[in-house]
Amino acid sequence: MTLYLNLAELLGARIEQGLYRPGQRLPSVRALSVEHGVSLSTVQQAYRMLEDSGMVSPRPKSGYFVSEGRHLPALPAVSRPAQRPVDISQWEQVLELVRSTPRQDVMQLGRGMPDINSPTLKPLLRSLAQLSRRQDMPGLYYDNIHGNLALREQIARLTLDSGCRLSPADLVVTTGCHEALSCSIRAVCEPGDIVAVDSPSFHGAMQTLKGLGMKALEIPTDPVTGISLEALELALEQWPIKLIQITPSCNNPLGYIMPEARKKALLSLAQRYDVAILEDDVYGDLAYTYPRPRTLKSFDDDGRVLLCSSFSKTLAPGLRIGWVAPGRYLERVLHMKYISTGSTASQPQLAIADFIKAGHYQPHVRRMRSQYQRSRDLMSDWVTRYFPPGTRVSRPQGGFMLWVELPEHFDTLRLNRALLEQGVQIAVGSIFSASGKFRHCLRMNFAALPTPSIEAAVRKVGETALRLLDQDDACA
Out of 152, 210, 262, 294, which residue is the one contacting a second copy (CB under 8 A)? Answer: 210
Ramachandran sector of residue 359 (left: φ over 0; alpha: ψ -120 to 50; beta: rest): left
Amino acid at 294: R
Q: Which of residues 344-373 bind ligand PLP (CB under 6 A)?
A: none
How far from 265 is each of 21, 200, 297, CA to CA, in Å? 35, 21, 13
| Site membership for a second copy, residue 242 (CB under 8 A) | no
| Site membership for a second copy, residue 341 (CB under 8 A) | yes
- Which DSSP category does 434 fall into? T
CA 120 – CA 107 distance, rounded (Å): 24
| Site membership for a second copy, residue 113 (CB under 8 A) | yes
Query: Could you tell me whether strands 172-174 and 322-325 are parallel, antiparallel, or unpaired per DSSP bridges?
Result: antiparallel
182 and 39 Cβ atoms separated by less than 8 Å: no
Helix intervals (H) in 326-392: 330-341, 346-357, 361-386
**Which one, 252 or 295, has the nearer CB to ligand PLP?**
252
Out of 260, 280, 300, 354, which residue is the one contacting ligand PLP (CB under 6 A)? Answer: 280
Out of 85, 168, 176, 248, which residue is the one contacting a second copy (CB under 8 A)? Answer: 176
| Site membership for ligand PLP, residue 310 (CB under 6 A) | yes
Out of 201, 207, 228, 251, which residue is the one contacting a second copy (CB under 8 A)? Answer: 207
Helix intervals (H) in 148-276: 149-158, 176-188, 203-211, 229-238, 260-272
Closest CA to 256 of 300, 306, 221, 209: 221
399 is in the binding site of which of ligand PLP, a second copy, none (Cβ under 5 to 8 A by kind)? none
Out of 348, 396, 398, 429, which residue is the one contacting a second copy (CB under 8 A)? Answer: 348
Q: Which stretch, 30-38, 176-184, 218-226, 329-337, contacts ligand PLP (CB under 6 A)?
A: 176-184
CA-CA-CA-CA torsion sign (108, 99, 254, 400): negative
For residues 96 to 135, the per-residue mask of contacts with ligand PLP, x marking binding by CB under 6 A and - elsewhere, is ----------------x-----------------------
Ramachandran sector of residue 330 (left: φ over 0; alpha: ψ -120 to 50; beta: rest): alpha
Least distance (Å) between residue 155 CB and a second copy: 17
| Site membership for a second copy, residue 78 (CB under 8 A) | no
282 is in the binding site of which of a second copy, ligand PLP, none (Cβ under 5 to 8 A by kind)? ligand PLP
Out of 24, 28, 41, 132, which residue is the one contacting a second copy (CB under 8 A)? Answer: 132
Contacts for 130 with CB less than 8 Å, ≥ 6 apart? none
CA 393 – CA 96 distance, rounded (Å): 24
296 and 263 Cβ atoms separated by less than 8 Å: yes
Out of 192, 211, 213, 342, which residue is the one contacting ligand PLP (CB under 6 A)? Answer: 342
Residue burial 425-434, b: 16+ Cβ < 10 Å; e: rest: bbbbbbbbbb
Q: Which of residues 177-196 bind ligand PLP (CB under 6 A)?
A: 177-178
**Which one, 73 or 226, has the nearer CB to ligand PLP?**
226
| Site membership for a second copy, residue 179 (CB under 8 A) | yes
Closest CA to 282 of 443, 377, 428, 398: 398
| Site membership for ligand PLP, residue 281 (CB under 6 A) | no
Closest CA to 354 of 147, 168, 128: 128
Q: Which stretch, 36-44, 309-317, 364-372, 454-462, contacts ligand PLP (CB under 6 A)?
A: 309-317
- Which DSSP category does 75 fall into? P
| Site membership for a second copy, residue 142 (CB under 8 A) | yes
On the question of a cis peptide bond just before residue 291, with omega within 30 degrees of 0, the verdict is: yes
Out of 86, 116, 234, 420, which residue is the one contacting a second copy (CB under 8 A)? Answer: 116
Q: Which stretch, 87-95, 234-242, 273-281, 438-446, contacts a second copy (CB under 8 A)?
A: 87-95
| Site membership for a second copy, residue 149 (CB under 8 A) | yes
| Site membership for ligand PLP, residue 282 (CB under 6 A) | yes
What's phi and psi for 442, nearest 5 deg? -150, 160
| Site membership for a second copy, residue 101 (CB under 8 A) | yes
Least distance (Å) between residue 444 CB and a second copy: 17
368 and 115 Cβ atoms separated by less than 8 Å: yes
Least distance (Å) between residue 210 CB and a second copy: 8
427 and 443 Cβ atoms separated by less than 8 Å: yes
| Site membership for a second copy, residue 111 (CB under 8 A) | yes
Out of 211, 240, 359, 390, which residue is the one contacting a second copy (CB under 8 A)? Answer: 211
Least distance (Å) between residue 220 CB and a second copy: 25
Chain residues in the site for a second copy (CB under 8 A): 91, 94-95, 98-102, 111-113, 116-117, 121, 125-126, 128-129, 132-133, 137-146, 149, 174-176, 178-179, 182, 186, 190-191, 204, 207-208, 210-213, 312, 316-320, 334-336, 338-348
